[in-house]
Chain A
Amino acid sequence: MSRKSLQRIALGYCILVLAVAIWFWSRQVQSVIDLLRLAYG
């Protein structure tokens, strides 16, 4: 595989991973906030 196409794949992979990570961690933080709301109102 050429270096140029590997760079393109890397760009796509990084964007995908970062988008999924942001979604995943925002979901986890939201679940903690919901739990704290349930406990303390």
Chain B
Amino acid sequence: MDVYFFFEWLDNSLLAQMSKAYGGVFAVVQMFHLLSLALLGGTVLIGDLRLLGVMLRDVPSEVVIANTQKWFNIALAGASASGVFMSSAVALKLYGNEMFWAKMTALAAGIVFVYAIRRPLLRGDHGALNPWLVRLLAVTSITIWFTVAASGRWIGFS
């Protein structure tokens, strides 16, 4: 399915006009994007390193996961909203960028992973799960979100 029409529409949208015309607005939105990414990375690392037994071992992992999940949701919403705005400034350029598609694929894999697998599994007692599966969930989560962040940064160099 070709989605070029969507990028063409985004390039001509009001968002694109604003992001291209007002550098200050773009910079502020970019700041929110980076803050959201920092929050997202922080919640992922705290939750997953707790699942791996690396940190916060005196706090039950159920508590850590429940507390980080709500901040993760906020961070993901913030990063997505600011990301759409930033993308609008270079929509047609991004369409042909391999690393942009790598980032979007990793992001889609991450969203499916978090909301369809990780969250439902970790909602209950973690002691009832196979400890190796819990570790595998943590490693996969770190890998996915590292790929999202690193391929996002790589867009600027490709």
Q: Do A and B come from one complex?
A: yes
Chain A residues packing against B (C-beta within 8 Å): 3, 6-7, 9-11, 13-14, 17-18, 21, 24-25, 28
Instruction: Decide: B130 and A18 in contact? CB cutoff 8 A.
Output: no
**Interface residues in B111-158 (C-beta closer than 8 Å to A):** 112-113, 117-118, 120-121, 124, 128-130, 133, 136-137, 139-140, 143-144, 147, 154
Bound CA–CA A10/B118 (angstroms): 8
Given A7-B129, A21-B143, A21-B144: A14 touches B136 (CB 8 Å cut-off) = yes
Instruction: Decide: A24 and B136 in contact? CB cutoff 8 A.
Output: no
Query: What count of chain B residues pass the 8 Å CB interface test?
Result: 21
Instruction: Decide: A18 and B143 in contact? CB cutoff 8 A.
Output: yes
Top 5 A-B pairs ranked by shortest CB distance? A14-B140, A14-B136, A10-B117, A21-B143, A17-B140
Judged by a CB distance under 8 angstroms, whether B109 is at the interface is yes
